[in-house]
Amino acid sequence: MFLKYHSSNNNSNALMLLLLVILTSLVACSKSTTGKATAAKTKGYRLLSVEEASAYVIKDEKELFFAKVAPLEMAIQMQQETVSLTREEQLSSYQKMLQKDLMSFDAQEQEIVQKIMDKALKMCFSIDPKLQIPEIVLIKTKGAYYGPSVFYTRDNAIVIPAPMIPQNKDAENTAFLRTMLHEIFHVFSRYNKLKRTALYQRIGFEQLPSLALSDFLKKRVLYNPDGVDLRYAITVKDSSGRSFKAIPAIYSRYKSFKKEVPAFFSYLTFQLFEVGDRAGLWSVKNKTVGYSVEDLSGFWEQIEKNTNYIIHPDEICADNFVILAFSKLKNGKNLDKLSENGRALVRDFERIIVGQ
Ligand SMILES: [Zn+2]
């Protein structure tokens, strides 16, 4: 899920209007069919028909979204006030809804998307010609459940909402290019776990060996398909100077779907939750809501301020990857507007990604 915060205002309507949401979850091809050899022999990606996409959109072998997604989240996406099904039944009807939202790319869209994907992958390989990216599959969807501007990824697939596909093939379409680079990073990160770990560490996040959510979060959690694993903790301080570990998470501000609030992103709240361990078993300490970022210190100092899109370490990394890719295209000129520490972060990202 990709979502840009432009405001620290907690008012739900105001905040939601300011959110540009792009959900991205990497889609892993099935292990049997994915491979570097495949990617090398092709353009590195392909656009799927509705029939092909039907299999991809309901499968998540890498991050296990479907095993985790909570009944409340499915009800919000399906706009159901009451649910009388078992989780299994609800999941099955949720997956059918995902399939019903699929569309096919028309000829002009194919041309435009291919042009941008060619450019995006060329930029990725300008960072490192040996970058390991599986073949990416592209899926078009109406955008009913997350919203019309939300991109996301599952395994090695990028799901593109129809209204966001550019219509002018001669335009630069830079916003779409940036988004595709961001999404490609989620796929790269998913298939390069050691580099993912090193990138996350560079911005202060360490993976906990286990994590039990609070009862509140178990019900309310919303899983970003691009950052399903919530076990990444960062050390922060509260206003009294107490230091502790916390995980970023998004959750629903309401305990059920409300007809008068139809948009998924109107439910979304981002906070940090304190975690602690007993005999090596980690759990969320906040009984209900967590901490807003502005009430804590030490967070921005570690992640730097190259992006405001901070709901999961993979999102922070994805936006920094876009900056790195553009620095290759623009001879580093786009780095001038960053702070010195921000530039150092991008340089370190390059070193980690290239593997030096
Ligand atoms: Zn993203």
Q: Mean pLDDT of all residues in the chain? A: 90
For residue 34, is pLDDT > 60?
no
pLDDT at 248: 98
pLDDT per residue as tens digits for the range 305-351 = 999 999 999 999 999 999 999 999 999 999 999 999 999 999 999 99
Q: Where does the chain have alpha helices with state H?
A: 12-17, 36-41, 50-56, 65-68, 71-78, 87-100, 107-127, 174-191, 193-202, 215-220, 299-303, 313-329, 340-354
Q: Tell me the pLDDT band of 27, cut-offs 50, 70 and 90.
A: very low
Q: How confident is the model over 279-286, as a mean pLDDT? A: 96
pLDDT per residue as tens digits for the range 119-141 = 999 999 999 999 999 999 999 99
% of the chain surpassing 70 pLDDT: 88
C-alpha of residue 4 to centroid of ligand 1, in Å: 9
For residue 5, is pLDDT > 60?
no
For residue 29, is pLDDT > 80?
no
Q: How confident is the model over 208-226, as a mean pLDDT? A: 98
C-alpha of residue 155 to centroid of ligand 1, in Å: 13
For residue 41, is pLDDT > 80?
no
C-alpha of residue 250 to centroid of ligand 1, in Å: 14
Q: How confident is the model over 240-263, as a mean pLDDT? A: 97
Q: Is 14 left (phi over 0), alpha (psi -120 to 50) or beta?
A: alpha
Q: How confident is the model over 199-205, as a mean pLDDT? A: 98
Q: What does pTM read for this prediction?
A: 0.90
Q: How confident is the model over 241-269, as a mean pLDDT? A: 97
% of the chain surpassing 90 pLDDT: 87
C-alpha of residue 74 to centroid of ligand 1, in Å: 20
Residues within 5 A (CB) of ion ligand 1: 2, 24, 226, 315, 318
C-alpha of residue 23 to centroid of ligand 1, in Å: 6
Q: How confident is the model over 70-91, as a mean pLDDT? A: 96
Judge whether 342 and 334 are in contact, CB under 8 Å. no
For residue 33, is pLDDT > 50?
no
pLDDT per residue as tens digits for the range 166-192 = 999 999 999 999 999 999 999 999 999
For residue 20, is pLDDT > 60?
no
pLDDT at 21: 41
C-alpha of residue 322 to centroid of ligand 1, in Å: 11
Q: Tell me the pLDDT band of 2, cut-offs 50, 70 and 90.
A: low
For residue 38, is pLDDT > 70?
no
The three-class DSSP label of residue 278 is: strand
pLDDT at 43: 84
C-alpha of residue 272 to centroid of ligand 1, in Å: 18
More confident residue, 73 or 1: 73
pLDDT at 122: 97
For residue 44, is pLDDT > 50?
yes
Give the tokens for residue 32: 């049997």
Which residues, at least 6 apart from 236, have a Cβ–Cβ distance to it below 8 Å? 243, 244, 245, 246, 272, 291, 296, 297, 298, 299
C-alpha of residue 168 to centroid of ligand 1, in Å: 24
pLDDT at 35: 39
CA–CA distance from 149 to each of 48, 75, 94, 160, 344 (Å)?
A: 20, 20, 20, 8, 32
For residue 16, is pLDDT > 50?
no
